[in-house]
Amino acid sequence: MTEACPKCDSAAQLRSKWLLIDAHDPERAQRHPDTRGACACEGELGVDGLKPEAVADAPLQQFVSGLYCEACGIGFVPEAMAKPAPQRWVLTPEGYRVVQADGTLGPAQPRMGG
């Protein structure tokens, strides 16, 4: 396994486990049709935050093959199954700057989407 627990950052005590996640939320899906809301480990991930190939057919679509950390006692969805996280921007005196995956800021843009 290449995935690590989001809490302890270790893969030593991970095992596969069926997880029950939130149901599809039409309002959340309408606001962000191609992205998920938050980190896959934070409890906000619903069926609509997963890639279509990771979702089972009804009535079992809320059950996903996730990972469980025996050391931390948490279950989570592997990053590869989740839709991309939404792009974040911050306004600085120089203009809008995209927040990179590592938390650094990208170059200033006159407007978002730059």
Residue 65: closest CA among 22, 23, 19: 19
- pTM here is 0.59
Mean pLDDT score, 91-114: 83
Task: Note the pLDDT tens digit of each residue in 60-89.
Answer: 888 988 999 999 998 888 888 888 777 888
Residue-range domain boundaries for the chain: 14-81, 85-114
Question: Which of 45-49, 54-58, 59-63, 72-76 has the lowest average pLDDT?
Answer: 45-49
Distance CA 61, CA 46 (A): 10
The pLDDT, as a whole number, for residue 112 is 62
Q: How far is CA 12 from CA 42, 79, 81, in A?
A: 21, 17, 21
Rg of the chain over CA atoms, in angstroms?
Answer: 16
Q: Is the peptide bond before 59 cis (omega within 30 degrees of 0)?
A: yes
